[in-house]
Amino acid sequence: MLAPLNILLVTSEARPLVKTGGLADVSSALPAALRELGIDCRLLMPGYPRVMQQCQNLREIGHLDGLPGPSEARLWHGTMPDTGVPVYVLDIPAAYDRPSGPYQDATGTDYADNDWRFACLAHAAMQLCLPKSQLDWHPNLVHCNDWQTALTPAYLHFAGRPAASLMTIHNLAFQGVYPPSSVATTGLPADSFAIEGVEYYGRFSFLKAGLYYADWITTVSPTYAEEIQHEPLGMGMQGLLSLRNRQLSGILNGIDTSDWNPMSDLHLPHNFSQRAIAGKRKTKIALQRELGLEIRAEAPLFAMISRLTYQKGVDWALQVAPGILAQGGQIAILGAGEKEYETALRALAAAHPGKVATIIGYDESLSHRIEAGADLFLMASRFEPCGLNQMYSQRYGTLPIVHATGGLSDTVHAGIDGFSFNEPTAHAFWLAIEQALEAYRDPPRWRKLQKNAMRKDFTWEKSAREYRALYQRLVASNP
């Protein structure tokens, strides 16, 4: 008989309350999908102003004593405004009631007391698992997400492991690194500052604590879970991650398949499906018109929607662009980010009017029309923990051309539902583009590839089932 699963998912972000990255999407979609499977998953979040304002049915349920530092903490219970998932809110006005972002002030500087702020969150998560907790609900596993929550497994360890713990890495680049003196701020024992503990190259890393003390570690794709065990993608954590590789696995993120559904997408001028694909062609022509591209139904239309950063391989995209244009292709780019890439992409559009459209900015509605109207999607990330756009593309019959890394490698199968390249160079990228163009000129083959891509299952239910199996194993081995 399997124990019932009571999962406390602790996170600093959840859509639609607070979002700075993909973590917020996972933290809202996964608990909802788990609850659909009958798992009692509840959230714990900091009481940021937007959380206090937007949570529904908020009521105070108690106080928490014994948190690190001079904290007066109240605990509230509410529900997510869209999905109704239960949320515990940790209300410490001195820590979380600040007018700018969750981590930084209005000038973009990290708050000086982030160590204390997130130690409180992690400590509260641990306290909710103690037998003497005032809750009438007892979590048997805490699912921690990124560095802000990564002290939880350490606190659980020093409290005698009252619940199992899972540490998920959404972004290994953020590690919550502080001076050794911060250990005292968090209330962890001084001797935890050791290689076998929270020490990280002479400093104190919250993420390291999570990776060291958690019962299990996941990342958001199986291939990324492999890659981070080595340089350079391990970003300094590769030693510990390879040591723990028996307790490390990857579970792919899902996508919001109701938001991203070509049959009902309200952002599109025409809807379509795998069987009724004609609407895609009409959407392409409407997109060419909207972006000021030449109206040419037969021209292969390449798209890119991305943060414009080095990680995303924007420099490689700039290098392959002349080849695409020489083959009669068109390019539509939507993105924002580093100024030098924005300038170069604008210049590319200016030099090739009617053939290249560059839109600098963030525009969710346009991103749907580009995904739907394009034929091919360029995603040459140098590394990619999971990636979403390649999945949106496949669902819209827009075949992705990707660098075979991380989640891109796990979701795109070359010659079956997209195209890929291994070697991290612009030349390898170009060779994959040539293969894609060859397939594009062979309509029956193209239709087959599109069908394969459009049929894929990217629902959160699939991911939630994998998390459920993992939770069951971890709870069973934490008596």
Judged by the rule CB under 6 A, the positions of this chain that interact with ligand ADP are 21-22, 305-307, 334-336, 362-364, 367, 386-389
| In the complex, minimum distance from the CB of residue 391 to ligand ADP, in angstroms, rounded to a whole number | 9
| In the complex, minimum distance from the CB of residue 56 to ligand ADP, in angstroms, rounded to a whole number | 26
| In the complex, minimum distance from the CB of residue 363 to ligand ADP, in angstroms, rounded to a whole number | 5
Helices 314-326 and 426-440, axial angle in degrees (round to 10): 40
Residue 325 or 336 having the CB closest to ligand ADP: 336
Q: Are 150 and 211 in contact (CB under 8 A)?
A: yes
Q: Are 141 and 5 in contact (CB under 8 A)?
A: yes
User: Where does 161-313 have alpha helices with state H?
Assistant: 182-186, 206-213, 222-227, 238-243, 278-291
Pick the closest to residue 300 from 473, 438, 105 (CA basis): 438
Residue 300 or 335 having the CB closest to ligand ADP: 335
For the chain, helix (H) and strand (E) counts, in that order, are 18, 18
Sheet with 399-403, edge to edge strand ranges:
356-360, 330-337, 301-308, 376-379, 399-403, 419-421
| In the complex, minimum distance from the CB of residue 181 to ligand ADP, in angstroms, rounded to a whole number | 33
| In the complex, minimum distance from the CB of residue 372 to ligand ADP, in angstroms, rounded to a whole number | 12
Residue 11 or 306 having the CB closest to ligand ADP: 306
CA distance 165 to 141: 5
What backbone phi and psi angles, to 5 degrees, belong to 89?
-115, 125
Q: Which two tokens stand for residue 91?
A: 């209300």
Q: Are 390 and 367 in contact (CB under 8 A)?
A: no
CA distance 151 to 155: 6
Residue 38 or 361 having the CB closest to ligand ADP: 361
Residue-by-residue DSSP string for 239-258: HHHHHTGGGEEE------TT
β-pairing verdict for 73-79 and 56-64: antiparallel
Residue 217 or 388 having the CB closest to ligand ADP: 388
Q: Which two tokens stand for residue 473?
A: 């194993």
| In the complex, minimum distance from the CB of residue 443 to ligand ADP, in angstroms, rounded to a whole number | 28
Residue 23 or 183 having the CB closest to ligand ADP: 23
Count of CA atoms in the C-beta half-sphere (13 A) of 290: 17
Residue 139 or 335 having the CB closest to ligand ADP: 335
Residue 282 or 307 having the CB closest to ligand ADP: 307
Residue 173 or 476 having the CB closest to ligand ADP: 173
| In the complex, minimum distance from the CB of residue 387 to ligand ADP, in angstroms, rounded to a whole number | 4
CA distance 424 to 297: 32
| In the complex, minimum distance from the CB of residue 169 to ligand ADP, in angstroms, rounded to a whole number | 14
| In the complex, minimum distance from the CB of residue 385 to ligand ADP, in angstroms, rounded to a whole number | 8
Pick the closest to residue 87 from 133, 136, 41, 135 (CA basis): 41
Tell me the one-letter amino acid at 24: A
| In the complex, minimum distance from the CB of residue 380 to ligand ADP, in angstroms, rounded to a whole number | 12
Residue 207 or 370 having the CB closest to ligand ADP: 370
At 36 the three-state DSSP class reads helix
At 197 the three-state DSSP class reads coil
